[in-house]
Amino acid sequence: MHSPTTTSPADTAAPGLNWARNHRYAAARLHRPRSVEELQELVARTGRLRALGTRHCFNDVADSPGDLVTLEALPTRVDVDAAAGRVRVSAGTSYGVLAQRLHDAGWALRTMASLPHISVGGAVATATHGSGDRTQNLAADVRALELVGADAALRRTERGEAGFAGSVVALGALGVVTALELDVVPTYEVRQDVYSGLSFDAFTQNLDAVTSAAHSVSVYTTWVGEDTAQVWLKTRLADSADAPAELFGARRASEPLHPLPEVDVLNATEQLGVPGPWHERLPHFRFSFQPSNGEELQAEYLVERAHALTAIAELRRLGPSIAPLLHMCEVRTVAADDLWLSSSYERDAVAFHFTFQQRQPEVLAALARVEDALLPLGARPHWGKLFAAGATTLAGLYPRFADTRALVARHDPDGKFANAFTDRIGLTG
C-alpha cells in the first residue's frame, strides 16, 4: 500500500523549541528536504547535521552544533508486504498514521507508545516503548532500516547482519534514517478498563499477577499514601472478552478517567470495556487529539524485573520529596530484546515513567535523588528524557556500549552526526 502525501516546499528556518519548551535548539538552521536525493545532497555539503523528529524529547539528544534536518516534507509511505508479515514505512511517519493504514489493510503492530503522534524513526532511535510482560519495545519490531550515512550514501541494514543490533537504537549517531521495515501481525481488538484503589501492599504482594493481568498494564502513582492512583488494563479480546470486577481490591471505574485528574478525559482513549481496534486502545491518548506544547517534563528509568520490588520501595521512601513536583508516575513492564542500546537489552524490565511539573531546576535535583536510589539497581534511563547519569555510569549499564561506540566511529569517523549529547554520554567524542 503506497500512500503519498502532499509535501511542503523545501526550506530552512530557525529550529525553535522542543515540545515541552524546556530546550531551545542551538542548531543554526532547520532544513526540510522534499526527497531522499535532496537529503543526500544536504548531508554531503553540511559539516555537522542531526535529524529532528516530532520534538518530543526532553533533552538535547536531537540538537546539533551545526544544522538540523526534518523529514516532514518527504512523502509518507506505508507499504505492506502481507506475505512476509512486514511493513516498510518512511521514518518521519507518525505512529498514528502508520497504525490507521495498517489497520485498514488488516494488519497491526504488537504495541504502541502512549502518545501516537510521535514519529517512527524518532521513537525507534531512542528505544521508546509501550508495555506488557511479553511485549518488547517499539524498536524491537524493526527488521531493516535505511539511512543516509556520513558519506551521503543511502545504505540498508537488516536483522541478522553484523552490526544491525547496534544500528537500530543509535540515537541518530549513524546518520539520518529515511525508512524502516517493521514486523506486523493480523489486526486485533482490545478493551480497556481502569481501576482505582489498588493498595501498595496489594500491588507489591501480587506484582507478577498485576502486570500479567492484561496485554498491557499501567499502574499510576504519586508515591505517597497507601494506595496507587489508577491501574489501566488493555486486554486483547482474543485473550479474554471480560475484565475482573475487582483487581486485588481495586475497583473497576464506572466512568472514564484520565491519568492526570486535572486534564480533560476526552483526550484519553476509550475505556469502560468498550472493544475497539488495537490502535485506538493501546495508546493512552487519542490520535485525533492534537497535543499542544507540553506543560510537563518527563524522565524514565527501566530496572531489571528482579529488582522491581526494591525499586518500588526506594521510590516510596522518596515519595514525600518528589511528590510535590510530580503530575504522575506510571509503572509498566517491557520484555527483553537484543538491541545494544535498548533500555531492555537482554533483560525483562519494569519502567518508571515520571511526568513532572515544568520546574526544571527542582526536577533535576529530584532526579539526582532518584538516580542515587535506582542506578545502583542497574536502572537505565530513557535516552530521550531527562537524566543526569554520565558516560562512565552509562557505559557500565550497557554490555555492548563499547561495541556501539566502535560502530559509530567506523561509520562516522569525523563526527558529522555527533553532538553535545552523544559526547556527554560517551558514544562519541
* Cell numbers that stand for 359 in this block: 520546574
Residue 292 pLDDT = 53
Residue 350: pLDDT above 80?
yes
> Do the Cβ atoms of 69 and 33 come closer than 8 Å?
yes
**What's the rounded Cα separation, in Å, for the pair 413 and 65?**
17
> Do the Cβ atoms of 395 and 402 come closer than 8 Å?
yes
Residue 155 lies in a domain: no
CA angle 9, 10, 11 (to 5 degrees): 110
Mapping DSSP to helix (H, G, I), strand (E, B) and coil, where does residue 353 land?
A: strand
**What's the rounded Cα separation, in Å, for the pair 339 and 128?**
12
Task: Give the pLDDT band (50/70/90) at residue 74.
Answer: very high
Q: At which residue does the C-alpha cell 555492548 appear?
A: 400
Beta partners for residue 101, in sequence order: none
> Do the Cβ atoms of 176 and 51 come closer than 8 Å?
yes
Task: Give the pLDDT band (50/70/90) at residue 294.
Answer: confident
Residue 92 pLDDT = 96
> Per this entry, what is the length of the chain?
429
* Cell numbers that stand for 347 in this block: 533483560
Beta partners for residue 397, in sequence order: none
* Cell numbers that stand for 246 in this block: 475487582
Residue 300 pLDDT = 98
Residue 141 lies in a domain: no
Q: Residue 406: enclosing H or E segment and its boundaries?
A: helix 401-411
Cα separations in angstroms, 227 against 151, 217, 249: 55, 17, 10
> Which position has the higher pLDDT, 9 or 373?
373
What average pLDDT score do residues 94-101 get? 96
Residue 266 pLDDT = 85
CA angle 200, 324, 375 (to 5 degrees): 65
Number of domains in the chain: 1
DSSP characters over 63-114: --SSEEEE-TTSPP-EEEETTTTEEEEETT-BHHHHHHHHHHTTEE-S---S
Residue 197 lies in a domain: yes
pLDDT > 70: percent of the chain = 97
Residue 318: pLDDT above 60?
yes
Residue 120: pLDDT above 60?
yes
Mean pLDDT, the chain, rounded, equals 94
> Do the Cβ atoms of 330 and 234 come closer than 8 Å?
no
Residue 260 pLDDT = 85
For 128-175, what is each residue's pLDDT tens digit? 988 899 999 999 999 999 999 999 999 999 999 999 999 999 999 999
Largest CA distance in the chain: 62
What average pLDDT score do residues 353-382 get? 97
pTM of the model: 0.94
Residue 203: pLDDT above 80?
yes
**What's the rounded Cα separation, in Å, for the pair 14 and 20?**
17
Q: Give the residue numbers spanning the domain of 303.
A: 189-388
Helix, strand, coil distribution of the chain in percent, nearest 5: 25, 25, 50
Cα separations in angstroms, 88 against 72, 79, 94, 118, 140: 17, 5, 13, 17, 15
Residue 345 is given by DSSP the state: B
Q: How many CB atoms lie within 10 A of CB 153?
A: 12
What average pLDDT score do residues 336-359 get? 97
In 3D space, the residue among 115, 122, 156 whose CA is nearest the CA of residue 279 turns out to be: 115
Task: Give the pLDDT band (50/70/90) at residue 9.
Answer: very low
Query: Phi then psi for 120, rounded to 5 degrees?
Result: -65, -50
Q: How far apart are the first and last CA of the chain?
A: 42
Query: Phi then psi for 41, rounded to 5 degrees?
Result: -65, -40
Signed CA dihedral, 239, 240, 246, 250: sign only:
positive
Q: Residue 180: enclosing H or E segment and its boundaries?
A: strand 176-183
Residue 324 lies in a domain: yes
What average pLDDT score do residues 181-201 get? 97
**What's the rounded Cα separation, in Å, for the pair 62 and 56?**
10
Task: Give the pLDDT band (50/70/90) at residue 4.
Answer: very low
DSSP characters over 181-201: EEE-EE--EEEEEEEE--BHH
Residue 313: pLDDT above 60?
yes
**What's the rounded Cα separation, in Å, for the pair 71 and 97?**
15
What average pLDDT score do residues 46-72 get? 96
Residue 48 lies in a domain: no
Signed CA dihedral, 325, 310, 123, 422: sign only:
positive
* Cell numbers that stand for 96 in this block: 498514528
Residue 245 pLDDT = 87
Residue 380 lies in a domain: yes
Residue 23 lies in a domain: no
Task: Give the pLDDT band (50/70/90) at residue 54.
Answer: very high
What average pLDDT score do residues 210-221 get? 96
Residue 159 lies in a domain: no
Task: Give the pLDDT band (50/70/90) at residue 13.
Answer: confident
What average pLDDT score do residues 217-222 get? 97
* Residues with Cβ within 8 Å of residue 43, at least 6 apart in sequence: 49, 148, 149, 150, 152, 175, 176, 416
CATH number of the structural domain spanning residue 207: 3.30.70.2520
Residue 293 pLDDT = 54
For 224-270, what is each residue's pLDDT tens digit? 999 999 999 999 998 776 788 899 999 999 999 988 887 888 888 99
Residue 423 pLDDT = 98
Residue 7 pLDDT = 34
Residue 3 pLDDT = 34
